[in-house]
Homo-oligomer: A and B are copies of this chain.
Amino acid sequence: MQNPYLMFLGDVGDQLGAKTAQGIVDWRPEWCIGQLRLPNCKADLRIRDITIEEAVASGAKTMIVGIVNSGGFLPDHWISVIVEAIEAGMDVASGLHIRLSDIAEIKAAAEKNGAALFDVRHPTNSIPTGKGTPRTGKRLLAVGTDCSVGKMYTALAIEKEMHKRGLKADFRATGQTGIFIAGSGISIDAVVADFISGAVEELSPANDADHWDIIEGQGSLFHPSFAGVSLGLLHGAQADALVLCHEPTRTHMRGLPHQPLPDLRTCMELNLTTARLTNKNAHFVGVAINTSDLDEAKRQEYLAKVEKELGLPTIDPFKDGTAAIVDNLP
């Protein structure tokens, strides 16, 4: 995917519907040259509103449909806007379940204008099965007690801190928002089950001995819906360093009211036991807590308690940065 991006929000009904687009603007503001909103759009990325013509004149290469809606469909009245963007010279990328190329008008416009269509949820390359063969370079993987506890955010914040220090590091995206932010990646929960670990081996190939891949985790080994994805990802990553991500106010596994969260130590132990199948040296280097729902006193108390109990640098990457974790890398 080529940047800069024009962010297309359609007419989504609330700010949450633009969560993916917001993630891109948060992490790659320099790639986002404007937003295009239809009448009645209730989301706002707080970047300038521009037309397709203005976007192209400003150098936009790809229009991003960075929208989440239930069902993953594309409303009919968005099609003509997407066709217009293609005719104006842009590629189009979407994180919806429906494929852009499955919509006849969009497919025809892309073929006629030589535009590329990216459906980031749908892996395109043929992926081999994982091999588990050790490869050069170093890898860090963010793992979690649950889904949506800040694994992507943590990985991106670690990459940013490493770049600030002039270290060689690449964020490796395994979900749709991450793919838009990185400009590439594999939506790991959408590959065929046999190829989970193979996809991660492809995503994070052999590299310089002092290079770090900072790999976005998915799900949790303790989530009954998605643990298979998490385990294949862990084995494929051959992680040298693990970071545990947690949201302390969560009362049950996301989407499953009957399912309790694991305690942090139990979660670390199972991740370590299984990670060591493909990397004997795997170990935890830090803990990242999403403390957004705690007041400052509770937040400090909680971080201090976890740091003492686990003996690992414990931070909220959003509020404290990730320097303490990067300091602890092997």
Interface residue ranges, A against B (CB under 8 Å): 129-133, 188-194, 196-198, 221-222, 224-233, 235-236, 256, 258-259, 270, 273-274, 277-278
Q: Quick check: A132 and B194 within 8 Å, CB to CB? A: no
Residue ID in chain B nearest A130 by CB atoms: B225
Contacts of A274 in B (CB 8 A): 221, 227, 270
Q: Is the CB of B229 within 8 A of A228?
A: yes
Identify A231's interface contact among B131, B188, B228, B236, CB under 8 A.
B228
24 residue pairs of the A-B complex, CB under 8 angstroms, read A129-B226, A130-B225, A130-B226, A132-B225, A133-B258, A188-B193, A189-B192, A190-B193, A191-B192, A192-B192, A193-B196, A193-B228, A194-B226, A196-B229, A197-B227, A222-B277, A224-B235, A224-B236, A224-B277, A227-B235, A228-B233, A228-B235, A229-B232, A231-B231
Binding site secondary structure of chain A: helix
A98 to chain B, nearest CB (A): 14
Q: Which residue of B lies closest to A278 (CB)?
A: B224
Knowing A132-B256, A132-B258, A273-B270 touch, does A229 contact B278 (C-beta < 8 A)? no
A196 touches B132 (CB 8 A): no
Interface residue from B132, B188, B228 paired with A197 (Cβ < 8 Å)? B228
On whether the beta carbons of B193 and A224 are closer than 8 Å, the reply is: no
CA distance A36 to B166 in the complex (A): 67
Chain B nearest CB from A133 CB (Å) reads: 6
Q: How far is the CA of A190 from the CA of B192 in the complex (A)?
A: 6
Q: Which one, B133, B232, B235, B278, contacts A193 given CB within 8 A? A: B232
- Quote the shortest CB–CB distance from A148 to chain B (angstroms): 14
On whether the beta carbons of B192 and A224 are closer than 8 Å, the reply is no
Distance from A244 Cβ to chain B, minimum over Cβ atoms (Å): 18
Which of A129, A132, A224, A278 has its CB near the most chain B CB atoms (within 10 A)? A224
Interface pair B222/A227, CB less than 8 Å apart: no
15 further A-B contacts with Cβ under 8 Å, apart from A132-B224, A132-B258, A227-B277, are: A131-B224, A131-B225, A132-B225, A133-B256, A188-B193, A193-B193, A193-B196, A193-B229, A196-B229, A197-B228, A222-B277, A227-B235, A228-B229, A229-B232, A270-B273
| A233, B133: Cα distance in complex, Å | 24
- A278 contacts which chain B residues (CB < 8 A)? 224
Complex contact B197–A189 (CB within 8 A): no
